[in-house]
Amino acid sequence: MKDTAARMPVLYLSHGAPPLADDALWPGQLAAWAALLPRPRAVLMVSAHWESAPLTLGATTTVPLTYDFWGFPERYFRVTYPAPGAPWLAERVRGLLAGPGVPVHDAPGRGLDHGAYVPLAEMYPDARIPVLQLSMPTLEPERLLRLGRRLAPLRDEGVLIVGSGFFTHNLSELTWGSGPREAPGWSREFDAWGAEALAGGDVDGLLDFAVRAPAGRRAHPRTEHFAPLFLALGAGEADLSRQRTVIDGFWAGLAKRSVQLG
């Protein structure tokens, strides 16, 4: 892993469910990605699985994980990821975001949810990098873009900003047993459209994805898994021309496209 650089990149990643750890391909892809990144001083994670308004900070100290899932074998509920908290980062985030009429609350007992610890356990398995989780206060793309812009200064302080979602996310149409290059047409069409929009820097098109993208509503019946992308685009706006896809393909028919800015 590289030493911490002057400016950290920003990531949007598709995180997978807890069984991701058993996948033959995906954990290695995440680990290889992390190995090429500058080593973060800390990680600021925004996950599709924590919507809370007003803005709220969780896991400011090391607390048990939030097992926000059901129906999986017991062993997935025994996974631990005791990353250090980052109280200094919490204070910095408050300074960047809080203001008149814009409170930032604390939920110190809320541990990292699976949108945070599942990918981090593959990327940084030693759990030695401090992690802070920030709630998603809205699903409105424009507001999340503006929120990301306000967080951008953290990149120059060694903080890796990560938006964790899933590039397509329709759990009612999962295709279990399909291969990493196999997916239904609606998932493929949305993924191809999103890849082209990202490559072309078409932020306006992405903001209006529910209308402009093929199968937009089918790919995201609810938009919480696409929403973290907009925070990432805001935080990484200065490096939009350097955006690149690091992981692509499909998992159970869902597009796992994951991108890096900077």
Residue 167 belongs to a domain = yes
Domain range for 90: 10-261
Q: Is the separation of the CB atoms in 1 and 39 below 8 Å?
A: yes
Residue 1 is predicted with a pLDDT of: 52
Tell whether 68 is covered by a domain.
Answer: yes
Report pLDDT digits (tens) over 144-169. 999 999 999 999 999 999 999 999 99
Within a domain: 5: no
For residue 4, give the DSSP letter.
P
> Is 89 within a domain?
yes
Q: Per DSSP, which regions of the chain are E strands? A: 10-14, 42-47, 55-58, 104-107, 131-134, 159-165, 244-247, 250-251, 254-255, 258-261
* Residue 4 located in a structural domain: no
Instruction: Look up the pTM and report it.
Output: 0.95
Measured between alpha carbons, how far is 251 from 181 in angstroms, rounded to an integer?
8
For 102, what's the count of Cα atoms within 13 Å in the CB-facing half-sphere?
A: 12
Query: Does residue 62 fall inside a structural domain?
Result: yes
Phi and psi dihedrals of 132, rounded to 5? Answer: -125, 135
pLDDT one-digit tens code per residue, 164-216: 999 999 999 999 989 999 999 999 999 999 999 999 999 999 999 999 999 99
Q: Is residue 1 part of a domain?
A: no
Number of domains in the chain: 1
DSSP state string for 93-107:
HHHHH-BTTB-EEEE
Segment-wise mean pLDDT, segments of 10 residues, the chain, 262 residues: 71 93 95 98 98 93 91 91 95 91 89 96 97 97 97 98 98 93 97 97 97 96 98 97 96 97 98
- In this prediction, residue 99 carries a pLDDT of 79
Amino acid at 2: K
Residue 3 within any structural domain of the chain: no
Question: What CATH number does the domain containing 202 carry?
Answer: 3.40.830.10
The predicted pLDDT at position 102 comes to 82
